[in-house]
Chain A
Amino acid sequence: ETGVTQTPRHLVMGMTNKKSLKCEQHLGHNAMYWYKQSAKKPLELMFVYNFKEQTENNSVPSRFSPECPNSSHLFLHLHTLQPEDSALYLCASSQAGKHSNQPQHFGDGTRLSIL
């Protein structure tokens, strides 16, 4: 069961290409997240959006540009990426709040390969 859908599942691109990753959540959540999972490294939080506003940027290079047009959709625009950016990119959503302990729900990720 997945209330968080990511497309595409796999993406191969050259360093000069521009592409976008898409995430959609059907859970009615108010927060969305991008994570990066590189080979042999732990998952790293990249961005946090609450009610469409970016509230966290974890020192991510500007070649990654997130966009959150509404609470259900999240994009990650990619341009002039480097080979070390090859990784699994995971989207998550949650019902966030000051007193919330609601878990984050993850999609199955986009496997990105940079040639």
Chain B
Amino acid sequence: DAKTTQPNSMESNEEEPVHLPCNHSTISGTDYIHWYRQLPSQGPEYVIHGLTSNVNNRMASLAIAEDRKSSTLILHRATLRDAAVYYCILLIQGAQKLVFGQGTRLTINP
């Protein structure tokens, strides 16, 4: 499985945008980029996924580099409830085996 690299932790302020980076230099052409997050005392929660084009949904935006070797999850206006561990995961279409790394622990300051 292709690997991803994320910073261990990041900190931001409430109501400011947050950009969470992910490097995946060995990504293959069939790998989709998925993001999940895990809030304290809860199971992981799907955030967004994409292949080549940037994607937006009600939770976040996903910006994918042109060479696909990196991507950025964007929270447009962070709230205290966005404090969580964010995981960037590569997955080919139809695959079911999510391989979680350590993720990025995001702290939001009031």
Q: Which residues of A contact B (CB under 8 A)?
A: 4, 31, 33, 42-45, 48, 50, 55-56, 90, 92, 94, 96-101, 103-109
B96 pairs with A101, CB closer than 8 A: no
Cβ contacts under 8 Å, B43 to chain A: 4, 90, 92, 106-109
B94 pairs with A45, CB closer than 8 A: no
When chains A and B are docked, how far (Å) is the Cα of A105 from the Cα of B103?
18
- In the complex, the chain A residue whose C-beta lies closest to that of B92 is A101
B34 pairs with A103, CB closer than 8 A: yes
Q: How far is the CB of B51 from chain A (nearest CB, A)?
A: 9
A98 pairs with B94, CB closer than 8 A: yes
Q: How far is the CB of A27 from chain B (nearest CB, A)?
A: 12
B96 pairs with A31, CB closer than 8 A: yes
Picked from B34, B42, B93, B97, the residue with its CB within 8 Å of the CB of A100 is B93
Cβ contacts under 8 Å, B94 to chain A: 96-100
| In the complex, per-residue mask of B79-110: 1 if CB is within 8 Å of any chain A CB, else 0 | 00000000000010110111111110000000
B96 pairs with A56, CB closer than 8 A: yes
When chains A and B are docked, how far (Å) is the Cα of A48 from the Cα of B87?
20
When chains A and B are docked, how far (Å) is the Cα of A50 from the Cα of B94?
12
Classify chain B: how many residues form its interface, as a range.
20 to 34
When chains A and B are docked, how far (Å) is the Cα of A90 from the Cα of B36?
14
B41 pairs with A104, CB closer than 8 A: no
22 A–B contacts, CB within 8 A, in A order: A4-B43, A42-B101, A42-B102, A42-B103, A43-B44, A45-B99, A48-B97, A56-B96, A56-B97, A90-B43, A92-B44, A96-B96, A97-B94, A98-B93, A100-B94, A101-B32, A101-B91, A103-B34, A103-B36, A103-B49, A105-B46, A106-B43
- B16 at the A interface (CB under 8 A): no
A43 pairs with B46, CB closer than 8 A: no
Name the residue among A33, A43, A94, A109 with the largest chain B CB count within 10 angstroms. A43
A104 pairs with B101, CB closer than 8 A: no
When chains A and B are docked, how far (Å) is the Cα of A43 from the Cα of B91?
16
- In the complex, the chain B residue whose C-beta lies closest to that of A88 is B43
Picked from A33, A55, A103, the residue with its CB within 8 Å of the CB of B46 is A103
